[in-house]
Amino acid sequence: MTRKADRSQDRQAAPHESGRNSARFASFVVGAVLAFAICAAVGWKASSSNIFRDFGRFHTRLSPESFFQPTAREVMALARELLDKNKVNVVIGGSSVFYGVGQPEGQTIADNLRRDLGENYRVINLAMRGGDVSGIAEQTVEMLLREQYRVVYVSDIAVGGTVTLLGSTPYQYYFWDARARNMLIDWPARDQRLTLPWYAEQRMSAMLNKYLYFMDLWNTIGYDYVFTVYSTLIPGHFWQARKDLPDNEIDPPEQFRYRNGELELQLIKRISEMPTEPEWTLVGTALETALPDVVRKSAVLAVCENSPWLLEQAAPETQAIRKAMRERMVKRVMEVGPSSLLACEGFEKDDYIDRVHLSVSGAAKIAPRLADRVRATSRNNGWVQ
Amino acid sequence: MIFFSHQFAVFTGLFFIAYWAVPIPLARRLLLLLASVTFQVHFSGPAGVLPIIVLAVGTYFVALSRNRLLCALWITVCALALIFYKYTHFLFQGIIGVAFPDLAKSGEEALAGILPTLPPLGVSFFVFEFVHYLMEIRRGHRPIRSPLTFALFTSFWPSLVAGPIKRYRQFSVSLSHGARNVSSDDVIAGMVRLAIGICKKFLGDVLTSWIQSQQASFDVLPLSVRWGIVVAIAFRILLDFSGYSDMAIGFARMMGIRLPENFNWPYIAHSITDFWRRWHISLSTWIRDYIYIPLGGSRHGLMRKSLNGFIAMALCGLWHGAAWNFALWGVYHGVGLAIAGALPLPRLLSEKPPLVFSSFRPAALAATWLAWRGFSWAATMLFVMIGWLLFFYPVDQAFHMTLRLFSH
Amino acid sequence: MKAATLGLCVKWALIGALVGVVANYYLYRVWLPIAPFVYQAF
C-alpha cells in the first residue's frame, strides 16, 4: 500500500463539510428513521382492529401455506370481533379435517356446528391444513381465556397421533409471536422445553416484531392492496390483494374422491403395524406439556377414524389394532382433561372424500356430536344451565 | 442465506451503532475484528473455524518471510485444503468412482471421520484471497506486517460468504481510511446500496419460486413460456448474486471501506469477452491474474491461448460447485471465449462495424452498425442463457431443455 | 433556506424514506419460510 493511494481515497471520500452535505445527510437520516417508525406505527394501528372481512377460515390462499402469516394480534382482533364475552365461544382447531378440506365455505364442520349450537354460542374456525391440536387455534384459545372469554376448544386428533409442543412447523411462528407479546397463558411445562437451538431465530424474530410490527404491516398491505411474495398456490395472481381471493375449497365430485385408495390402504396398514407404546400414554404426556391445564379442561378432542370403506378393506388384524388404538386414544385423552369422543363412529364411505377428510355429509353428521360435547363442557364449566 | 435472518439483522444493527460511535481507529479495527470473528464462529457450520485459522496463520507468516519457494508451497497447501474440503466427494464419486467404484467407496469411508459434512464457511473465498496474497508477495510486493490488518483482511465479515474477492493492497488502504474517517457520504451510499441489494434479492426470490413451480413441466409448456423460464433463470442469478454483492459492498461502504465491484450490467454485453468483463468481475479478474496469465495467457500462439482459456474457465466453473455440470459450464464459456477471440466474424461483431461498410453514407453505416451490435448482443445473450441451463441442471437435462427451446 | 437546498433535502429525505421502508420490508420477508436460493455459500 502507498501513502499516496491512502491519501487519495481520504481526499476522495472525505466529507466536504459544507452545509449542503450536512443537510443532505440529516434529511436522509430523518427520512429513513421516520419512514421506519411510520411503518411500525401503521403496523401497530393496522393490527389493533380486525383486518379480515367476511372471515370463514384461514383458507389456503389466506394462510401460512401461501406465505400469509396472520399474527397473534391480528387473529385476536378478528376473534374479538366474531366472538362474544357474554356467550360461550367455540374455537375450532386441529388439522385439515376440522379446517374442512372437502367442504366448501358455508358447509364446513364449523358452519354446521354454528347452526346446531344456536344463538347462545359463537364459533370461529382457526384450524389449519397440516395443523395440530396445539398451534394457532389453541394458542388463540389461551389468549381468549386470559381476556376472560368463555371458550370451548374443539379439535380433531388422529388415531395413534400425538401432539407437538408448539404446533406444526409452518405455524410455530405464531407461538413465538404470542409469547413475545406475553399474550399466552403461563405454562412452565411447555417453557421448560423451549431449549432447542433453532428456536433462537424464531424468538428473535418475534421479539423484533413485538416492537416493530412489520409482520402486521405487510400482512395488512398484502390483504388489502398487494401481496409481494410469490406462492405456488396462487401462481397466476400472487400479487393480488388476498381479500379478493375467495375460499376455493370445493366439494369434490365423485371422480376426485378416494383418488389414492390403494396407497391410502397401504398407509393404514403401515400405521397399524408401527410399533407403539402398548398403552399409548405418549399422547397424554404430550397434551399435558403442550396445552395449559385450563385449556385442556375446556377442550373437546374428537378422535377421528379413517374412512370405514378403506378400513373394511384392511386385514382383520389391522382393523383390530385400529379399534384398540382408537379406544385407547379416547381414554388417554380423557385422562389428562379434555372431553374426548370417537367422532366418526358409524360413518359411511360417502361421509369421507378420502382416507381422513370428511365430505359435506360427514361435516353435517359430525357437528351434532360435537355440539353435544360443547354443551356438556359448557355445563361442566358452569357457563350454561 | 446468512444475510437473511433476524439474528444477523440484530448483529448488524448493534455492530454499526458501535462502529460509528467509536471514534478511535484502533478501537474500530478491534471492533471489526471482534464482529468478524463472532460472525465466522456463529455461522461457520460443522467444519468450524480451525481450518481457516490454520491457513490464515500459515499465510501470514509465509508472506512475512517473502520466500518465493515457501509461498509456492503454501499456495499448494491452500489449494489442497480447498480440494479436500470442497471436492473430495466429487473426486471420489465423479472421477475415481467412474472407473473404480470400490476404490472410491473405500476412500470415502476412510475419510468419513475427518471430512466435515459441509466445507468451512467461505473456504473458496478464503483460499482465493490467500492465493492472491501469496502470489503478489511472490511478485515482489510487500506483505501486510500488522497481524490485525491481516486478520481483518482474512475475516472481514461482509465479504465472507459470497465475496467480492478482495485484493489486499486496495483493502488495506480502504480499511485504514474507514477506520479513520467514515463520511456521511459513505453511510448514505452504503445504505442505499444495501437497500438496492435487498430489493434485488427479493425480486430474485420471486423469480426463483416461479421457475421452481414451472420447471417440472418444462417440456409441455408453450414455447414462449419455456423461453420465459430461460430468461427468468438468467435474471434470477443476476439479481440474486449481484444483490448479495451489493449488500456486501453496501455494508463495507457503511464502514467507509470500499470493496471491488462484482457486476457491471453484464446483460448488455455484446460479446462473451465483454460478458466476462462485466460478470463476477472479482472472480474473473482473479482467474485472469492467477491462473490464465501464469499459464502463459495469450503469449504462446492461438492454440496455447485457447487451451489456457479452457483450463482457466473449467477451474472457474468448478469453483462454483463440485460437479461436472459446473466444469462443463466453465469449458462452454472457455469455448465461447476462444471463438470470440479467434474468429474474425465474432470479433467484427463485438468490436467495430465491418470495414466493408465504411464506404456507405454515415446514416447507413450507423444503422448497419446498430444492427450488427444488436445481433451480437442477442447472440451473446443466447449463448449466456443456454450456459445457465448447464449451470443449474444436470448435463443431460440441460441439453434436453436446450433442444426443447428450438422445437415445438 | 434556499430553494435548491430545500429541494436537496426533500430528495434525500425521500431516498432515506425508501431505505427505511426497505429495511422494514426486509424484516418482514426474513420471517417468511421461503427456501432461499443459494448461488455460492462456500
- Looking at residue A1, its pLDDT comes to 37
B109 at interface of A, judged by CB pairs closer than 8 A: no
Whole-number pLDDT of residue A102:
93
Q: Which pLDDT belongs to residue B242? A: 93
Stretch A191-200: mean pLDDT: 90
Nearest to C39 among B199, B209, B237 (CB): B237
In chain B, what residues touch C23 (CB-CB under 8 Å)? 195
Whether B141 contacts chain A with CB within 8 A:
no
Q: Is the pLDDT at A342 greater than 80, yes or no?
A: yes
> Letter for the amino acid at B391?
F
Do the domain assignments include residue A27?
no
Half-sphere exposure of B166 (CA within 13 A, CB side): 28
DSSP letter at A358? B
Lowest-confidence segment of B22-31, B121-130, B377-386 by average pLDDT: B121-130
Of residues B191 and A16, the one with the higher pLDDT is: B191
Q: What is the pLDDT of residue A133?
A: 95
Q: What is the pLDDT of residues A115-131, one digit of tens each?
A: 999 999 999 999 999 99
**Residue range A198-223: mean pLDDT, rounded:** 95
User: Hey, what long-range contacts does B215-222 have (CB within 8 A, 24 or more apart)?
Assistant: B218/B401, B218/B404, B219/B404
- The answer to whether the CB atoms of C16 and A214 lie below 8 A apart is no
Contact A13 B183 (CB under 8 A): yes
- Residue A100 forms part of a structural domain: yes
**Per-residue pLDDT, A277:** 66
Quick: pLDDT tens for B163-193.
Answer: 799 999 999 999 999 888 898 999 999 999 9
For B103, half-sphere exposure in the C-beta direction (CA atoms, 13 angstrom radius) is 9
- Name which of A17-26, A40-49, B175-184, B224-233 the model is least confident about: A17-26
Q: What is the pLDDT of residue B306?
A: 83
Contacts of A21 in chain B (CB under 8 A): 184-185
pLDDT of residue A9 exceeding 50, the answer is no
Range name among A13-27, B2-16, B116-130 with the lowest pLDDT average: A13-27
Q: Using a CB–CB cutoff of 8 Å, tell me whether A24 touches chain B.
A: yes
Distance from CA of A37 to the nearest CA of C (A): 8
Q: Which of residues 13-32 of C touch A (CB under 8 A)?
A: 13-21, 23-25, 27-32
State whether residue B374 is helix, strand or coil: helix
Unique residue bearing C-alpha cell 386385514: A315
Among A36, A204, A227, the strongest candidate for a mutation testing the C interface, having the largest count of C CBs within 10 A, is: A36
C-beta neighbour count of A200 within 10 angstroms: 12
- Running DSSP on this structure, what letter comes out for residue B144? P
Query: What confidence category does residue A276 fall into, taking pLDDT thresholds of 50, 70 and 90?
Result: low
Cβ contacts of C12 on chain B, cutoff 8 Å: 188
Q: From chain C, pick out residues whose CB is under 8 angstroms from the CB of B9.
A: 26-27, 30
> Could you tell me which residue, B347 or A41, shows the higher pLDDT?
A41
Give the pLDDT confidence score for residue B95 in this predicted structure.
Answer: 79
Q: For residues B163 and B86, what is the distance between their CA atoms, to the nearest angstrom? A: 17
CB–CB of B116/B45 below 8 Å? yes
Task: Kindly report whether the peptide bond that precedes residue B164 is cis, defined as omega within 30 degrees of 0.
Answer: yes
What HEC string does B259-304 produce?
A: CCCCCCCHHHCCCHHHHHHHCCHHHHHHHHHHHHCCCCCCCCHHHH
* pLDDT of amino acid A4: 43
Average pLDDT, whole number, for chain A?
Answer: 90
In total, how many domains does chain A have? 1
Give percent of chain A with pLDDT exceeding 70.
Answer: 94
Q: Show residues of chain C in contact with A31, CB under 8 Å.
A: 12-17, 19-20
> Are B123 and B85 contacting, i.e. CB atoms less than 8 angstroms apart?
yes
- Which grid cell sits at A11? 481526499
The answer on pLDDT for C42 being more than 60 is: no
Confidence at B354, pLDDT banded by 50, 70, 90:
low
User: Would you call C41 and B240 a contact, using CB atoms and an 8 Å cutoff?
Assistant: no
Residues 6+ away with beta carbon under 8 Å from A70:
A58, A62, A63, A78, A136, A174, A219
Distance from CA of B55 to the nearest CA of A (A): 23
Does B357 have pLDDT greater than 60?
no
pLDDT band at A6 (very low <50, low <70, confident <90, very high): very low
- Share above pLDDT 90 across residues of chain B, in percent, rounded to a whole number: 56
> In chain C, which residues touch B (CB < 8 A)?
12, 15, 18-19, 22-23, 25-27, 29-31, 34, 36-42
Q: Annotated active-site positions of B, please? A: 320
Tell me the per-residue pLDDT of A138-188, one tens digit each, with 9 for 90 and over: 999 999 999 999 999 999 998 888 899 999 999 999 999 999 999 999 999
Subunits in contact with chain C (3 or more CB pairs closer than 8 Å): A, B
The CA distance from B81 to the nearest CA of chain A, in Å, is: 29
Residues 6 or more apart whose Cβ sits within 8 Å of residue A27:
C8, C9, C10, C11, C12, C13, C16
Cα dihedral angle (B268, C42, B250, C25), rounded to 10 degrees? 90
Closest by alpha carbon to B325, among B236, B389, B383, B275? B389
pLDDT at position B353, please? Answer: 54
Gap between the Cα atoms of A234 and B207, Å rounded: 14
Per-residue pLDDT band at B319 (split at 50, 70, 90): confident
Provide mean pLDDT across the span B231-241: 94
The SS3 of residue B156 is coil
- Per-residue cell: B151: 486478520
- Confidence at residue A14, expressed as pLDDT on a 0 to 100 scale: 45
Least confidently predicted of A111-115, B93-97, B246-250: B93-97
Is residue A129 in a domain?
yes
Q: With 90 as the cut, is the pLDDT of residue A214 above it?
A: yes
Nearest CA in chain A to B202: A229
Judge: B185–A6 Cβ closer than 8 Å, yes or no: no
Give the residue on B whose Cα is nearest the Cα of C23.
Answer: B195
CB contact under 8 A, B124 and C40: yes
pLDDT band of A16, cuts 50, 70, 90:
very low
pLDDT score of A18:
64
Inter-chain CB proximity C16 and A40 less than 8 Å: no
Q: Contacts of residue B173 in chain A, CB cutoff 8 Å?
A: 1-2, 5-6, 9
Record: contact B202-C29, CB cut-off 8 A: yes
Q: Residue A23 falls within a domain, yes or no? A: no
Contact A93, A153 (CB under 8 A): yes
- Answer whether A13 touches B (CB < 8 Å): yes
Instruction: Please report residues of A whose CB lies closer than 8 A to that of B191.
Output: 28, 32
d(CA A12, CA B79): 37
Tell me if A117 is assigned to some domain. yes
CA distance C21 to chain A (A): 6
* Nearest chain B residue (CA) to A227: B206
Residue to mutate among A16, A66, A214, A233, with most C CBs inside 10 A, is A214
Is residue C24 predicted with pLDDT exceeding 90? yes
The model's confidence at residue A17, banded by pLDDT at 50, 70 and 90, is: low
Interface check for A225 against chain C (CB to CB < 8 A): the answer is: no
Please indicate whether residue A277 or residue A216 has the higher confidence score (pLDDT).
A216
Residue of B nearest to A28 (CA): B188
| % of chain A beyond a pLDDT of 90 | 70
The reported pLDDT for the residue numbered A351 is 95
Query: What is the per-residue pLDDT across B328-347, written as a single tens digit (0 to 9) for each?
Result: 999 999 999 888 877 665 45
Average pLDDT over residues A16-38: 87
Mark yes or no for CB contact A14/B183 under 8 Å. yes
How many Cβ atoms sit within 10 Å of the Cβ of residue B307? 16
Residue A309 lies in a domain: yes
Q: Is B325 exposed, middle or buried (0-12, 13-18, 19+ CB in 10 A)?
A: buried
pLDDT band for B45, please (50, 70, 90 cuts): confident
Own/partner long-range contacts of B371-379 (Cβ < 8 Å, ≥24 apart): B372/B348, B373/B270, B375/B349, B376/B270, B376/B271, B376/B346, B376/B349, B376/B350, B377/B268, B377/B269, B377/B270, B379/B349
For residue A6, tell me if it sits in a domain. no
ipTM of the complex, rounded to two decimals: 0.87
- Residues from chain A contacting residue B209 (CB–CB below 8 Å): 230-232
DSSP string spanning A166-218? SSSGGGHHHHHHHHHTT-SPP-HHHHTTTT-TTHHHHHHHHHHHHHH-HHHHH
Say if the Cβ atoms of A14 and B173 lie within 8 Å.
Answer: no
Inform me whether the pLDDT recorded for B351 exceeds 60.
no
Kindly determine whether residue A229 and residue C29, on different chains, have CB atoms separated by under 8 Å: yes
Rounded to the nearest angstrom, the minimum Cα separation between C42 and chain A is 21
State whether C5 and A19 contact (CB < 8 Å).
yes
Which residues on chain A are in Cβ contact (under 8 Å) with B172?
Answer: 1
Q: Which chains touch B (3 or more CB pairs under 8 A)?
A: A, C
> Rounded mean pLDDT of chain B?
88
Interface contact flag, B173 A25, Cβ < 8 Å: no
Output the pLDDT for position A290. Answer: 95
Q: Locate the chain C residue with the closest alpha carbon to A219.
A: C28
Burial class (CB in 10 A: 0-12, 13-18, 19+), B363: exposed
Residues of B in contact with C29 (CB under 8 A): 4, 202, 205
Which member of B4, B195, B240 has the closest CB to residue C22?
B195
Residue A112 belongs to a domain: yes
Highest mean pLDDT among A79-83, B218-222, C8-12: A79-83
How far is Cα of residue A214 from the mean position of the Cα atoms in its chain? 20
Domain that residue A130 falls in: 43-380
Task: Report the alpha-carbon distance of residue A34 to residue A373 in Å, rounded.
Answer: 53
Amino acid at A63: S
